Structure 1
């Protein structure tokens, strides 16, 4: 006769309910962000600038880059808004740092000007874009505390330069990794290279796993973790793993995980393949 299953205490049930409620609040906020009128779901095109003055459909002016300086020549009947002020004629818009950029206004369209992989890009974002208008949420695994895993953060003596690929061909990115995270799952030890997060006090981990290309997006997912205190302990809550923009649109230039972040284990937590990419 088999032993009875351990009883679940009221405290454990309360903790699980609170965990699920927190995740659902976070997920609602995540969907609100994805639904923003000028978010990446609003991107309608991706243009790579060259040294030749060129016009692009739906964007005023001729655009070119000379000695890493960006220029636009707006005709007599053309204008854009920069920092809320109209500009016209020939504009020297400056030099942009890698992974940096700014926005220009053109009616209800926002034109993102940025640099990716050392190349300048224009990405118009229009709230009427069908991808945004038809957005119907993101499928995700049911939140499970099992996927909230403690790990050890090992800070490097010096940040390590890491070359990563991108979701578009011909682009490579150089990231500085401040350290790595070591954790155990199902009796095996795994190590993930971490990068500095977009928000101060956070780390960003790009990864794939055995679910990638099956139930989750093939190219990458991303997990944000808090920088650890003096004890070096970090919490990897894979329930909060999210898709990058390239999971939704081919007009994104997302980085790919470094080789060591391609896990052989299945992480059955976090966001799944977007509906837009699902194959019946």
Structure 2
């Protein structure tokens, strides 16, 4: 009796399938975080806080910028929760650390909400969020290019000593933001070497890159995309997996203050990997 030998699997095909499965799992989890009840898709407005008191539609309190930072005056029966602290009456949040934000939660007729209080370029913004935000409820998901392991590009960190401050513009005219940059990431694309300014991302040494490319404004968001980069090893070696390039919040809503890529992070090649332009977005008038 004759037998037919089984053909050996193609290692390249097997690796591509494993890469695709890992990417699908990553993107599913990323979309789940995006859909969180009080995530960025739940933002309903953007307010620049000044001395003149304002009321936030859909959120408790009257807000103003006081001598020591943002303040809120809550009516009887209203409250906010900041961490483990329940806030009633008048409360001062004190000075905010540049570039940071805090979130005070509330309930409105059983609907969860929160007010994000943030420093952006030395100014204070307020962004109310509600779990019943229309855009969050209707969010259709984000399209992306098919995952292709060829877009997983080796790179090397060329460190600056000491780390420098990178100052970039933002989608808000006149607003600048600062990031700590430990150096540049050198990589090769389409036979040409490029250097991208990297931002410090996590205490473990992970980095991030904000970039534009030839797809920006065509098949991907015009502002650019954001890419998390694993911590470089002792020699500076790491990898840029462009299939995991994601949209910034401003791709989904006008209620954002996203930074712009530094000029040196504008790639002349079409990076057909990662997330594409969202199907819909929130405008300030909506």
Same fold (TM over 0.5): yes
Partner of 2:27: 27
Q: Structure 1 residue 114: deviation in Å? A: 1.3
CA deviations on 1:46-100 (whole Å, 9 max, x unpaired) are 1110122222322322222234422112233433223354322211221111222
The 5 A counterparts of 1:23-62 are 23-62=23-62
Partner of 2:272: 268
Separation (CA, whole Å) in 2 of partners of 1:99 and 1:77:
32
Instruction: Give the secondary-structure state (helix, strand or coil) at the position aligned to 2:166.
Output: strand
Within the alignment, does 1:216 sit opposite 2:220 as a pair? yes
Cα distance 1:128–1:218, how it changes in 2: closer, same or farther (>3 A)?
Answer: same
Separation (CA, whole Å) in 1 of partners of 2:278 and 2:57:
28
The 5 A counterparts of 1:151-170 are 151-170=155-174
Q: Which runs of 5+ in 1 are unaligned?
A: 1-7
- Equivalent pair of 2:59/2:113 in contact (CA under 8 Å): no
CA deviations on 1:127-183 (whole Å, 9 max, x unpaired) are 111111011111000011110111121010111221101122231112221110111
- Equivalent pair of 2:49/2:70 in contact (CA under 8 Å): no
CA deviations on 1:188-242 (whole Å, 9 max, x unpaired) are 1111000011463310100000000000000010111112111211101100100
Q: Which runs of 5+ in 2 are unaligned?
A: 1-7, 282-286
Instruction: Give the secondary-structure state (helix, strand or coil) at the position aligned to 2:41.
Output: helix
The 5 A counterparts of 1:175-190 are 175-190=179-194
Separation (CA, whole Å) in 1 of partners of 2:17 and 2:83:
45
Instruction: Give the secondary-structure state (helix, strand or coil) at the position aligned to 2:37.
Output: coil
TM-score (normalised: structure 1): 0.92
The 5 A counterparts of 1:195-206 are 195-198=199-202, 200-206=204-210
Q: Structure 1 residue 9: deviation in Å? A: 6.1
The 5 A counterparts of 1:13-162 are 13-107=13-107, 108-162=112-166
The 5 A counterparts of 1:247-262 are 247-262=251-266
Separation (CA, whole Å) in 1 of partners of 2:78 and 2:28:
40
Which stretch shows the higher mean deviation, 104-113 or 248-257?
A: 104-113
Within the alignment, does 1:242 sit opposite 2:246 as a pair? yes
4+ residue runs of structure 1 moved beyond 3 angstroms? Answer: none
- How many aligned positions are there? 270
Partner of 1:10: 10
TM-score (normalised: structure 2): 0.90
